[in-house]
Structure 1
Amino acid sequence: MFDPKDLYQLADDAPELTDPVLLYYFDGFVDAGGAGRLAVGHLLAELEHRVVATFDVDRLLDYRSRRPIMTFDTDRWVECESPELIVHVAKDSTGTPFLILSGPEPDREWELFTKAVAALAQGFGVGKLVTAHGIPMAVPHTRPLGITMHASRPELINSQTSAFGRVQVPGSMAALLELRLGAQGHDALGYAVHVPHYLSQAEYPTAAIAALEAVTRGTGLVFPMDTLREAAGRTTTEIEEQIQASTELSTAITGLEQQYDAFAGGTERENLMAETTPMPTGDELAAQFERFLAERDDE
């Protein structure tokens, strides 16, 4: 029987914490607009933090499925960007400590990994586990971003109703952690931010803001947001410039707005995927935005 604690190594100066939140995000699963990745990256860039635990990626990752980047200089190899799956302890804007688990999603030993995270959570006295990511939806960027909440106990999300029924989808480590640790009595919750489908392949800081604001509501943690809001403002300006320059895009966005408003108003529309007028597909819209943003980068 493998010991899950063999999957990670604690730092020698690992702190003793009181009821901290564990915020986790793994690269590799659906994350429209980079909502979860941008949110966690923002926190690690803005907040004081240090490493408290490191996972054994050699056991957890398949290097051939996502090969690390190596640098060749003239006549020799000089660098390898080894992947890291790490737990940081950070402090929010009020000085409250919390934990951030981030890195690539494990390829193997999923069940053992969940047990390892459970052991870490118990060792640090974690009170709540939280995750967030983006999902593509047929919604316009001109309306507030919706969020689908899920949790190990309905009370954690105030029994809020969901637009989804019972469905089966490909699994993820983030979802499995919520399922397994929730079954063990841990409080775990997650937020899926509804990102406009035509922006799902781009970085959309507005989605990261929505994710962090949801985490704040669910945990009480307070984060600095100015840098992220500035990035969101620049992105929104670029999007509006593209729309104004294209009658096709402008018409498509108007159609999405009408569809969204009808759904939000509870009229005849049954879901956000219903179409009101002929419109370009999400892929076509995304391709136009990507071409526009690429042109701006070249300039």
Structure 2
Amino acid sequence: MEPSALFTWDLPAGPAQPAEAAAPAGSLTPPADVVVDRDDAPGDAVREVAPAHDAAVAPAELEAPLPASLDDVDATVLVHAMRGAIDAGHAGALVAGHLLSAHPSRRVATFDVEELLDYRSRLPVLTFERTAFTDYVTPELALDYIATKDGGLLLLHGTEPDLRWETFSSAVREIVERLGVRTTVGLHGIPMGVPHTRPISVTEHGTREELLEPGPELFGTVQVPGTAASLLELRLGEHGHDAMGFAVHVPHYLAQAEYPAAAAELLRRLARVSRLPLSDAALEEAASTVREEIDRQVADAPEVAAVVGALEQQYDSFVQAAGASLLAGGHVPSADEIGAQFEAFLAAQAGEESEDPGDQPGPGSSGER
């Protein structure tokens, strides 16, 4: 199968038409289909549904042109935050939903999920009301242009491919080359033995060391479960394209819950790389609310409080010994320890897929996928 057959352009190739300015706040209400769904759905608990039409949901100062053709697309950064096997705290999905709801956007390309999705492993959700099926959450993988007052970026979001990883990687490379993307950035969360009461840390990785901020090496050489996103980064680098990623560390006891604090940290890293004004105010507000709920639940559960307390002592001891950060020294997990942590996380997610989608845990629970 040719890589170009995996996707369809949603913008004409050209000639370029006069750019259409995104409407300021108040001129359009946010379309109903630009949402972040919090339903506990097997395989797709957090989903960001891109608008079927153009979205104009930004503050007045973010009046920016939206591309009318492929020739109008001016974005040097493509960020991918796909829903897949590994996204602890739904950190990447929350960033994608935030970008779609906070900025004007336009659909650039749509992937053929029929060629990429293993439906039996993902089990998309249908709604049953009394005597009939009434709705179906259609899986989607799409590329949108996100506009800000200082320029735009491309967002690849939706369901991460189960199949045809190599063909998918080649297809994204074709898009990168056609649209003149200079840097591709992946965002996701990974479960770690860290407390929610301490500063959030992030592991950076990339195809060139020059892309990364100087910092200590945490993992050394290990083998971890592969994803389409990680293969994409590898293949882009092999073809001479800059690609990097941010893996935010999410407390393992919150890995299945939404954790906006982790998403806010990812957004700040993305803003640094893209040099675009990406406000994290909404995520920070959500993070504050969730933090209060987590603290309440921890206070009500002595056994959980004991775990958090032990993690705090471990973290503080490492920081004191290193004089800087948990990442600067202390115990470096072995390959077996890291692999076991990933396997436990994946096993927990696999178990979630068989649960009743009607159960909706609270913000600090561990039952949501």
> Normalised by the size of structure 2, how large is the TM-score?
0.70
Alpha-carbon deviation of 1:292? 8.8
1:157 aligns with 2:157: no
Q: In structure 2, the residue corresponding to 1:266 is in which secondary structure?
A: helix
Partner deviation per Cα, 1:67-103 (whole Å, 9 max, x = no partner): 32234456654433221110000113x3411100011
The secondary structure found in structure 2 opposite 1:190 is strand
Written as runs of structure 1 = structure 2, the 5 A alignment for 1:1-299 is 2-11=1-10, 12=12, 13-15=68-70, 16-72=72-128, 77-92=133-148, 94-266=149-321, 269-271=330-332, 293=364
Q: Is the 8 A contact 1:260 1:272 kept in 2?
A: no
How far apart, in 2, do the equivalents of 1:133 and 1:114 lie? 18
Q: Note the C-alpha offset of 1:214.
A: 1.1
Q: Label 1:292 to 1:187 Cα distance change in 2 as closer, same or farther (>3 A).
A: closer
Distance 1:41 1:19, change over 3 A: closer
CA shift digits 1:218-243 (9 cap, x unpaired): 22122122221111000111111223
CA, structure 1 residues 53+266, in 2 after alignment: closer, same or farther (shift >3 Å)?
same
User: AA paired with 1:115?
Assistant: S
| Amino-acid identity (%) | 42
Q: Is the 8 A contact 1:22 1:98 kept in 2?
A: yes
CA separation of 1:75 and 1:175: change in aligned 2, threshold 3 A: same
Conserved? CA contact 1:263–1:271, under 8 Å: no
User: Contact (CA 8 Å) 1:7, 1:55: kept in 2 or not?
Assistant: yes
Alpha-carbon distance between aligned partners in 2 of 1:225 and 1:240, rounded to the nearest angstrom: 22
* CA distance in structure 2 between the aligned counterparts of 1:77 and 1:241, rounded to whole angstroms: 38
SS in 2 for 1:120: helix
Distance 1:79 1:259 in 2: 48
TM-score by length of 1: 0.86
Question: How far is 1:131 from its partner?
Answer: 0.9
CA-CA distance at 1:154 after TM superposition: 0.3
Secondary structure, counterpart of 1:89 in structure 2: strand
Give, in angstroms, the shift of residue 293 of structure 1.
4.8
Other structure's SS at 2:196 match: coil
Amino acid at match of 1:4: P
Amino acid at match of 1:152: T
Tell me the alpha carbon deviations over residues 104-143 of structure 1, each in whole angstroms, 9 at most, x when there is no partner. 1111111111110000111111011001111111111111
Distance across 2 between alignment mates of 1:83 and 1:109 = 16
**Alpha-carbon distance in 1 for matches of 2:302, 2:138:** 46
Cα distance in 2 between the residues matched to 1:113 and 1:126: 17
Q: SS at the partner of 1:65?
A: helix
Aligned length: 278
Query: Retained in 2: the 8 A contact 1:89–1:98?
Result: yes
Once the two structures are overlaid, the 10-residue window that deviates more, 3-12 or 247-256, is 247-256
Question: Quick one: structure 1 residues 191 and 17, their matched pair in 2 at CA, closer, same or farther if it must change by over 3 Å?
Answer: same
SS in 1 for 2:167: helix
Q: Deviations over 1:169-203 (max 9, x none)?
A: 11101101110001111111100101111111111
Please list every run of 5 or more consecutive structure 1 residues that lacks an aligned counterpart in the other structure.
274-281, 284-289, 295-299
Say whether the 8 Å CA contact 2:87–2:189 is kept in structure 1: yes
Counterparts of 1:68 and 1:246, CA distance in 2:
34
Pair 1:40–1:292, CA change in 2 (3 A) = closer
Cα offset, 1:9, TM superposition: 0.6
Q: Distance in 2 between matches of 1:205 and 1:156?
A: 26
Runs in 1 of length 4+ with deviation above 4 angstroms? 72-78, 290-294
Q: Cα distance 1:196–1:71, how it changes in 2: closer, same or farther (>3 A)? A: closer
Q: Distance in 1 between matches of 2:333 and 2:2?
A: 46
Q: Which runs of 5+ in 2 are unaligned?
A: 13-67, 323-328, 335-343, 346-360
